[in-house]
Amino acid sequence: MKSADRNSPPLDRKINAVSSPVTPIARLFPDDVYVELIACIPDVTLVDSAPSEPTCTAENAKILVERLATILWESAPDGLVEIDSASWRAFTGQSYDDWKGYGWLTALHPDDRIPTVEKWRDTVRDERPVEAEYRLRRLDGNYQWMRIHAVPARDEDGQIRKWFGMNIEIAEHPYQAQIGLESSNFASAIRRP
């Protein structure tokens, strides 16, 4: 096997290497057979020497979330809405007094209220992130499918101090595509037997 030149200066490089037991090659081949070992060892010098400043800053994350989400909201550790959300009010037309506590449920499609509140109560009880979908009444009175993501924010002791959530509009729900309806007709058609 070839070796590095002993007279060359040491390389100041960083590599990620994994070792594993192997059968010595010398035992596999007779002395007169030349074997060259080829290894792939990634050079991570540039990765390790990259600036330690995060590329996903709080400001960048906030911009991303604001552009993706239709509605941003927060709730208390017990899941009750106690903090106003201008984006919720603008989308639904509900006032803060209308939507606080569990008042937000009145803006959901009647068929989605019970399953949604049950899932939300389970989520809060189990203290785990949640993804859900429901139809939310828009300011114009029509319903819009939403995908909801909510995560708990914990303090240094691991206790939930609040929940952060966002609603993202679903342009076309999979059920809607299956029955071939446009979004304006979908909410009324799904109620039919």
Indicate the class that CATH gives domain 58-190: alpha beta
Q: pLDDT tens, 131-143?
A: 999 999 999 999 9
Q: How far apart are CA 125 and CA 173, in angstroms?
A: 29
Helix (H) or strand (E) holding 61: helix 58-68
Judged against a pLDDT cut of 60, whether residue 151 lies above it is answered with yes
**What per-residue confidence (pLDDT) applies to 171?**
79
**Distance between CA 151 and CA 163 in Å, rounded?**
6
Using CA atoms, how far residue 107 sits from 99, 118, 185, in Å, is: 8, 16, 18
Q: What is the reported pTM?
A: 0.60
| Cα–Cα distance, 87 to 186 (Å, whole number) | 24
Alpha-carbon distances, residue 105 vs 31, 119, 151, 155 (angstroms): 80, 12, 19, 28
Q: How many residues does the chain have?
A: 193
- Minimum mean pLDDT range among 59-73, 89-103, 144-158, 173-187: 173-187
